[in-house]
Amino acid sequence: MKVVFIISILFFFSNVSFSQAQVEADMDAAVQNAKKGIYWALSNIPVKKVKIEKSIINEDKLLAKVKIAKEMNGVRVESTGYFNTNEVTIIIYRSRDSLLKDGYIKKGDLESYAEED
């Protein structure tokens, strides 16, 4: 009787740790998709528009929704990554100087960083 009880407890805890590992793996995939959106956004900063929103879709699955907004002296990038039923949002702010230094914009491309009225 004790053996059956101990085995059932071990089985229960192994299922709990497996489900936690699965949730962790799903969240990691959502974070990776959000990162893809960030990388895409930094490579596609608009020269003339103040804000843009795009969706990244691969194999009929929504990977990420990306929003880029010019701010005073920089940009704000918001990327929401999706995987199964998980959704993760990453928001980064990059200054004009760091964008120039890292080669994301050319000098003079984003001369005015004004908020949209």
pLDDT digits (tens, 9 = 90+) for 52-97: 999 999 999 999 999 999 988 889 999 999 998 899 999 999 998 8
Mean pLDDT of all residues in 98-116: 72
**Is residue 36 within 8 Å of residue 64, measured between CB atoms?**
yes
Alpha-carbon distance of 43 to 4, in angstroms, equals 59
More confident residue, 30 or 72: 30
Q: How many domains does the chain have?
A: 1
DSSP state of 105: S
**Single-letter amino acid code for the residue at 63:** L
Task: Kindly state whether residue 111 falls inside one of the protein's structural domains.
Answer: no
Range of the domain at 61: 2-102
Strands in 1-117 per DSSP E: 51-58, 61-71, 74-83, 86-95
Mean pLDDT of all residues in 19-27: 85
Tokens representing 28 are 């990691």
Task: Kindly state whether residue 7 falls inside one of the protein's structural domains.
Answer: yes
| Pairing, β 61-71 against β 51-58 | antiparallel
Average pLDDT over the chain, rounded to whole? 83
